[in-house]
């Protein structure tokens, strides 16, 4: 059956990335004039993290299709801008996610088992099943909470940074959002506040081409999303989001500038969403497959792999071992998650207030004493 789309223009990587700063060339070699000259071990670590994210991503889609988890929103094709930007943040800095950044949370140190538990919403889920899958957080990892409403994380990140500035703490916040979120009220509020108070914030716009079914060119009349910062007094810059070195260099410079009192930066990371918006979306309904095919050739993982090859740092055998190790680790995490019971009924009421107020205690007592369906709470 032929699928009819609503797309009229194919945006190839060449068109989408025109005039954007790039470090890694088509041959895999870094441009010496822009190369941040990162430690090779860090570059390899980012590659391993990107491959790990991809393997996990693909498996979770399969689990959702099998009915074993209810939902997943992945980062297929966007691993480069997510992992490189997370790596560019300092240890003391906070990250405020959108909903595609589970790779950044794993980079920050959350055990894979904890993340998989969140996908199942079981008793060991750090969120205790209070939010849907892929709505994670981790105070221990200086990582804010995912929230479904569009853009709310932007004002949270700016406010957090302002508080740190008032306390004279050496702390920078970064916040992820898609280009579609620039149409939200939260974007205006966050940008205006950040500009006025010069908060140490790095605003990371993942321009992946699509806000679900709305193409980026239908989202704004401005030439770029980065230039939106001008009206707010916020520095705006664009980088090739599928080029790990370009992303790291751009974000690190913005972090150092913010930490030195230079104020916020809006970074437009040009990338592409290779999969659907989530497991609830079928992108064939609105975009042309030829466009997706052209972007698969610009896959950030393949690009970094080619760069590592020029440095003599990767072989086919090593690459396969990375994937096999992740696969084995993930299978064990899934087995454990599926064998874990559901959260206790009391978790609906606990950890909301420091001391449970009387009205909530009454609701809990009534709920606990009520009838329970068989095989459930």
- The residues annotated with a catalytic role in the active site are 273, 277, 286
Q: What angle in degrees, to the nearest 10, is found between the helix axes of 112-120 and 40-65?
A: 20
**What count of other Cβ atoms lies within 10 Å of the Cβ of residue 271?**
29
Radius of gyration of the chain (CA): 21
Inter-residue contact 171 to 164 (CB < 8 Å) = yes
- Which pair of tokens denotes residue 255? 């972090």
Q: Whole-angstrom Cα distance, residue 256 to residue 96?
A: 18
Q: How wide is the angle at C-alpha 352 spanned by C-alphas 166 and 337, nearest 5°?
A: 110
**What residues contact 290, with CB distance under 8 A and at least 6 apart?**
10
The angle at the Cα of 282, spanning 304 to 296, to the nearest 5 degrees, equals: 20
DSSP H helix total and E strand total for the chain: 12, 7
Sheet holding 173-178, edge to edge: 94-96, 173-178, 201-207, 265-270, 235-240
Alpha helices in the chain (DSSP H): 13-16, 40-65, 79-88, 102-107, 112-120, 152-166, 185-197, 244-259, 289-296, 300-310, 316-338, 358-369
Q: How far apart are the first and last CA of the chain?
A: 44
Q: Residue 95 in contact with residue 101, Cβ under 8 Å? A: yes
Alpha carbon distance 374, 20 (integer Å):
59
Question: Bridge partners of 206?
Answer: 178, 269
Residue 202 pairs with which residues in a beta bridge? 174, 265
């Amino acid at each position: 059956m032929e699928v009819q789309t609503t797309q009229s223009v194919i945006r190839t990587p060449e068109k989408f990335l025109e005039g954007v700063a790039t470090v890694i060339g088509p041959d895999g070699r870094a441009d010496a004039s822009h190369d941040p000259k990162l430690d090779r071990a860090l570059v390899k670590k980012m590659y391993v993290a990107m491959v790990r994210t991809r393997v996990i991503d693909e498996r979770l889609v399969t689990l959702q299709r099998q009915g074993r988890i209810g939902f997943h929103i992945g980062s297929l094709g966007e691993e480069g801008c997510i992992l490189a930007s997370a790596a560019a943040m300092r240890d003391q800095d906070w990250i405020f996610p959108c909903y595609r950044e589970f790779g950044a949370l794993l980079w920050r140190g959350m055990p894979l088992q904890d993340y998989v538990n969140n996908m199942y919403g079981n008793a060991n889920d750090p969120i205790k099943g209070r939010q849907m899958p892929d709505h994670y957080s981790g105070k221990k990892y200086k990582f804010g909470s995912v929230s479904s409403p569009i853009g709310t994380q932007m004002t949270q990140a700016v406010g957090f940074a302002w508080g740190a500035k008032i306390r004279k703490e050496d702390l920078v916040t970064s916040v992820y959002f898609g280009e579609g979120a620039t149409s939200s009220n939260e974007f205006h509020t966050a940008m205006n506040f950040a500009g006025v108070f010069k908060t140490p914030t790095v605003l990371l716009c993942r321009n992946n081409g699509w806000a679900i079914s709305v193409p980026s060119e239908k989202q704004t009349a401005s030439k770029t999303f980065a230039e939106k910062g001008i009206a707010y007094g916020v520095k705006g810059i664009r980088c090739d989001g599928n080029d790990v070195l370009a992303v790291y260099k751009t974000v690190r410079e913005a972090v150092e500038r913010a930490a030195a009192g230079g104020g916020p930066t809006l970074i437009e990371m040009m990338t592409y969403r290779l999969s659907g918006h989530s497991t609830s979306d079928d992108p064939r309904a609105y975009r042309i497959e030829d466009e997706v095919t052209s972007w698969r050739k610009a896959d950030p993982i393949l690009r970094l792999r080619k760069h590592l090859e020029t440095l003599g740092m990767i072989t086919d055998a090593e690459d396969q071992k990375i994937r096999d190790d992740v696969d084995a680790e993930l299978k064990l995490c899934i087995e454990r998650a599926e064998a874990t019971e559901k959260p206790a009924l009391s978790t609906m009421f606990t950890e909301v207030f420091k001391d449970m107020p009387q009205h909530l205690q009454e609701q809990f007592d009534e709920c606990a004493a009520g009838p329970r369906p068989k095989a459930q709470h």
